[in-house]
Structures are given as structure tokens and as C-alpha cells.
Amino acid sequence: MRGVLAVVPSATLLGLDGRFIRVEVDVAPGLPGFTIVGLADTALQEARERVRGAIRNAGFTFPPRRITINLAPADLRKGGASLDLAMALGILLGSEQVRAGSLPVAFLGELSLGGDVRRVPGVVPMVAALTAGIARVVVGTAVVEEARLAGGPAIVGVGTLAEAAEAVRGRRPRRNPVAMPRVTMGEGEVAAGPAIALAEAAVPDLAEVRGQHGARRALEIALAGGHGLLLTGPPGVGKTLLARTIPGLLPPLDDRSALAATIIASAAGEGPIRELRRRAPFRAPHHTISYAAMVGGGPNLTPGEITRADQGVLFLDELAEFDRDVLESLRQPLEEGRVVIARAGRVTTFPARFQLIAAMNPCPCGYAGSLPESTCRCNAPAIERYARRVSGPLRDRIDLWVPMPRVSSASLVAVGEPEGSVEVAARIAVARAVALARPAGVLNARLRGRALRHACRLSGAAAHRLIGLAEAEAASGRGTERLLRVARTIADLGDRDAVETEDLDEAAWFRSAEARSAGALAS
Ligand SMILES: [Zn+2]
């Protein structure tokens, strides 16, 4: 009796890329055993138990033979559970419990011990890697729509290993008309990374933000120009509410950007993904987030929050509470729009063109500078230490600093309805289009040196004012550039071709909160 070799196409995820994997299963006579070779990581070794259990519980026999699975190409490190289904089918084919049809069919999915097919992260890039010579890709029912976004081969959804075995013959799986009662032991769907309540919650309208004209204006400028923004103020003044309006203020992504955002969301295991992500990302990780979760990494090079915020906004509430290392990790990506991750001798670059918007209290208790003064019990050194948690280099990347004072109840009921998100979003979209139409083709926050000077034609009076402001602040060249970039955006919002004195003055006002904060540091 000779052995049988079955070959099943599948794919694995590495970072944001899917990689084609040929799962070769050799079922040979000899002492029963089950070995996986071909640079499979330790997590993948656990697949043996899932595959064994799934085969038995799906009503097949786990063959008492010597089973060797080779994952090719052998020099590519494989992780994750996406190969489970292909390995199980390889064993069923190799032990002749299932016969293959004529069409090349690929399989992607994790198996439960009970034989259910579970969703895996990265279905979009993995299916995209399977286009060559594959007629059909079988995935879990939960990710059928996500898999179709990749284009290319036909997608078949299956709920169980038994249904997948039907699909291997090129047949559409027949559904059992009477659903079998299924006992589940806790653990349902795979959780999509750390719970991020803000991102999932409904997006409030800007009209819900009462008072806070300075902060509303600063947010409009920040989103129009892509500028870093820091909101400071005591708890309860609406910093978080204001930030939560951001998704409703950003223009939708074009086709190419939407596909890039969808691939990142897929690789990060976000779900469910049923259509291209048209809305610019808004990520709001909790301040307890780890370095790896912020930057990306882990065995399968999972994209971090800064990559998941690519082309959108990274909102850091309670900025001073984040780990120092986590905040420092933002510097390079903020400058370069990408992050380089080195792991196990492999270097990968992820996009990270996010805009930083942050909020923090003015002191540890949160009430410094607000009335009545007596509510804050923090002493000067404590306030200073608190402010210092946001380091100089990170401060340099924040163009707008906005204090949010307590709003009196009188001003909450005064005046009419504030402007809503639709009107403000329209102005932001126009200003961004104006900036992107310039020769540099970038948002104003990314203008540097010559490109910045070309973009900012100053009126005579404005040139004079810029010199005055620079001297008053003893601003470094860098400080002056930040001022100019924000003034350019303010002029764009006001439909002014040249940057005027008023634009510079307003930009300087949005720096004054930082100047006060820096003063606190110096004293
Ligand atoms: Zn305090």
C-alpha cells in the first residue's frame, strides 16, 4: 500500500500582504503521526489539534497513518490559522475520504474543534494573492462579502468542514435544511483586536457641541490642513464629544484609498467588512495601549493603530496618560508617514499617514486654570511633571493648541443652533481640494521648505507681521514654518489666495496655549 499526496492551495497573511501557500499532504502507511514542516510557527503547530478534532467531529475518520504536511514555499515563515481548512481537506483527500473535482479550489479558514469554519484576519489580501490559476476560493460564511472585495476568483462560503468537503468536488455546498442544535462553549466570534468603543459608536453631529467656538474652529482648521491638534481642558467640557464628530467631517476616500483602507482593516482582523471602507479611518485607542498594538508587530506582523489610522485620524484621549514609549513611537511616523517594523530578521514598512488629534487635562486632577480656582489641588511641580509627559519632539508636531474652558450654562442656552457637521464638512472638503491642487499635491501640514514658501504668498503687511510674530516668540525656523502652514490653511478656508495678516494672527492665537504650557515648563 503506497502513500497518497494531496495538494491544496491556500494562503497566509504577512503584514498587509497575502502569500500563496501550497499545502502538500502526504498520507503514508506507517506508525500513526502528524507532522507539519515548512517554517510553521508554534501557533501553527496547534493547528494539528484543531484539524484532528474538526475531522472527527465533522463525521470523517482521522486516518491512523503517518501524515506529513509540507507548507510551500518552505523559506516563508507561516503563522495564523488560515491554513487549517486546507490542511484538513488535504488529509481527507489524501486518505481518499473525499474526491477532488477538476477545478482548482483554494481554501482559507480556521477550524474549530467541532468542525466549524471560523473567520480569519486578512481575507482581502489573501484572496488577492490567490488569483493565479485558482477558479474558486472557499472561505467561512462570515467573510464571504469581505473576500469578494478582493476581486478575482469566485467565492464560496461554507459554515463547516463537511460543507467544505462538498465544495472540493466543485459542487456548491448543500445546506442542511434542518439546523443541527449546536452546543457552544463560550467564545463566539473572534474578537477584532482591543475593544475600541469610540470608533464603533455612532458619530455625533457637530451641532451637539455647544459653545467652544475656539475648539470648533481649531478642529475645522486641523481637518482642513491635516494639522496636529491638542485640546486641553478640565473633564466634562466636551473634548471627547468634539473628537467623536471627526468621522462626519472628513471627506470620503476615493476608490484607491478606500481599497488600501479596506486591506488594512482586513489584515487587522476588523469585522465585519461588507464593502469598501469609504469613510476615513478614525482610531481612538485607550491610553493603556501597548507599544506593539500602537506600532504594529507580533508573529504575523499585525498592523498597529497608527497604520489602521492611515489616511485618517488617530485620536489620543488623555494624552498625558499614555506610556512614554508609546508616545515616542509616533515621532517617526508623524514625520515620514510610514512605520518600519523589524521582527525576527524581517523588516517591513507599513503606511502610517495619520493625523494626530489629542486631548488632555491641564493637570493631574484636571481642574487647573478653571474656575473656581480652589477646585485644583495640584502643586506647580506636579503640573509641570504632567505637562512634560508630552515630550518636546511630539509637541513640535502639534500645530494647534486649544484650551477648552468650562462653558457657562448661560452660553449653553444662548444664541441659536450651532453649525452642524454637513456645513463644516463642506468647507473642509473645499479647503483640502485647494491644497491638494497645488504643485506639491499634499495637505498643508505636509508642506516643507520651498514648497511651503511657494504655497504661502504673503501680502506686504503679512510679511511684516510674520517677522514680528517670529521675533516675539523667538521662534525657531521650524516654529515659523508651523505658523505659516496653519495660516495657509486658514486662508484656504477663507478662500484667500494670499496669506493675510489676519490669517497669521489667528494661527498665532492657536499657538498661545502651547506658549503658556512651554512657559510652565521653563519656570
Ligand atoms: Zn489639578
Write down the residue that cell numbers 500563496 correspond to.
20
Q: 521 CA distance to ligand 1 centroid (A)? A: 16
- Written as tens digits, the pLDDT of the chain (523 aa) is 567 789 999 999 988 999 999 999 999 999 999 999 887 777 777 899 999 999 999 999 999 999 999 999 988 878 789 999 999 999 999 999 998 877 789 999 999 999 999 999 999 999 999 977 898 999 999 999 999 998 888 999 999 999 999 887 755 554 443 333 333 333 333 333 333 334 445 899 999 988 889 999 999 999 999 999 999 999 888 999 999 999 999 999 999 999 999 999 999 999 889 999 999 999 999 999 999 999 998 877 899 999 999 999 999 999 999 999 999 999 999 989 999 998 767 788 999 999 999 999 988 988 887 666 557 888 889 888 888 888 888 888 899 999 888 876 666 666 677 899 999 999 999 999 999 999 999 999 999 889 999 999 888 899 999 988 888 776 566 678 889 999 999 999 999 999 999 999 999 998 876 666 544 444 3
Q: How far is CA 88 from CA 84, 152, 172, 354, 374, in A?
A: 6, 25, 19, 41, 68
What is the Å distance from ligand 1's center to 374 Cα? Answer: 9
Residue 377 Cα to ligand 1 middle (Å): 5
344-347 CB contacts, 8 Å cutoff, 24+ apart: 344/77, 346/77, 346/301
Cα–ligand 1 centroid distance for 320 (angstroms): 13
Q: For cell 501597548, name the residue.
A: 290
| E-assigned strand segments in 256-398 | 282-283, 296-297, 302-303, 313-316, 338-343, 346-351, 355-360
Provide the pLDDT for residue 477. 66
The CATH number of 4-177 is: 3.30.230.10
Which residues of the chain are in CATH 3.30.230.10 domains?
A: 4-177
For the segment 431-483, what is each residue's pLDDT rounded down to a tens digit? 999 999 999 999 999 998 899 999 998 888 999 999 888 887 765 666 788 89
196 CA to middle of ligand 1, Å?
28
Q: Can you give the pLDDT at residue 468?
A: 87
Question: Would you tell me how many other CB atoms lie within 10 Å of the CB of residue 360?
Answer: 23
Distance 376 CA to ligand 1 centre (A): 4
Distance 512 CA to ligand 1 centre (A): 21
C-alpha–C-alpha distance, residues 506 and 413, integer Å? 27
Beta-carbon contacts of residue 382 (< 8 Å; ≥ 6 apart): 363, 364
Q: Residues 82-128: pLDDT tens digits?
A: 999 999 999 999 999 998 877 789 999 999 999 999 999 999 999 99
Cβ-contact 358, 229 below 8 angstroms: yes
Name which of 295, 317, 321 is nearest 307 in CA terms.
Answer: 295
* 214 Cα–ligand 1 center, Å: 23
CATH 3.40.50.300 range(s) for the chain read 206-517
- CA of 382 relative to ligand 1 center, distance in Å: 8
pLDDT for 415: 62
Cα-to-centroid distance, 14 and ligand 1 (Å): 46
Q: How much distance in Å is there from the Cα of 517 to the middle of ligand 1?
A: 14
Return the CATH superfamily for domain 206-517: P-loop containing nucleotide triphosphate hydrolases (3.40.50.300)
Cα(210) to centroid of ligand 1, in Å? 25
The grid coordinates of residue 513 equal: 496655549
Cα 386 to averaged position of ligand 1 atoms, centre (Å): 10
Instruction: Please give the distance, rounded to the nearest whole angstrom, from the Cα atom of residue 234 to the centre of ligand 1.
Output: 9
Å from CA of 390 to ligand 1 middle: 17
3-state secondary structure 335-364: HHCEEEEEECCEEEEEECCCEEEEEECCCC
> How far away, in angstroms, is 513 Cα from ligand 1 center?
17
Q: Which residues pair with 347 in a beta bridge?
A: 342
Please, how many CA atoms are within 13 Å of residue 309, restricted to the half-sphere of its CB? 32
Report yes or no: 74 and 40 within 8 Å, Cβ to Cβ.
Answer: no
Distance 380 CA to ligand 1 centre (A): 9
